[in-house]
Structure 1
Amino acid sequence: MMVTGTLDDGSAYQVQIPGQGGSPVTGSRRVRVMVEQYAGTPVLLGPLGPRRNLDPADADAVLALLHEHTQVAEIRR
């Protein structure tokens, strides 16, 4: 899945979320570090839930984190 968006400082990013362990995202070092920092913390997968601990191998949880902390502009699956 390819995600394009902007960070809180206005910097644009484009990352690929492979949904496999090892490398949670590729393409933006800042987004990768953010995913690594939030690993194990709860994220909401939708507006009302469910809540799941962030696993970098879980593409849905990583996407939820990006929605929560960045402005996601485009998602290509």
Structure 2
Amino acid sequence: MLATGVLEDGCPYDVEITGRADRPVIGSARIRALVEQHTGKPVLLGPLGPRRNLDPGDPQTVLALLRQRTRLIDQRP
């Protein structure tokens, strides 16, 4: 899955969400660090839930983190 967005400081990113716990994203060291920082912490999968702990091997929770912590512009399978 590919995701494009902008970080809070205005820096754009373009990453591939791999679904692999050992390398959850490819393309941005800052997004990789963001995922590492929030691993195991709860994220909302949708605007009202459900809430799940971030698992770097689960693309849906990684994408949910990007929606919450960045301005996600585009996502493609």
TM range (shorter): over 0.9
Q: Percent identity?
A: 56
Unaligned ranges ≥5, structure 2: none
Counterparts of 1:60 and 1:23, CA distance in 2: 15
Unaligned ranges ≥5, structure 1: none
Offset, 1:21 = 1.6
4+ aligned runs moved over 3 Å, structure 1: none
SS at match of 2:26: coil
Counterparts of 2:39 and 2:67, CA distance in 1: 15
Counterparts of 2:37 and 2:21, CA distance in 1: 15
1:23-34 matches, cutoff 5 A: 23-34=23-34
* Pair 1:50-2:15 in alignment: no
| TM-score, normalised relative to structure 1 | 0.98
Counterparts of 1:48 and 1:56, CA distance in 2: 21
Give the number of equivalent residue pairs: 77
Offset, 1:48 = 1.2
SS at match of 1:63: helix
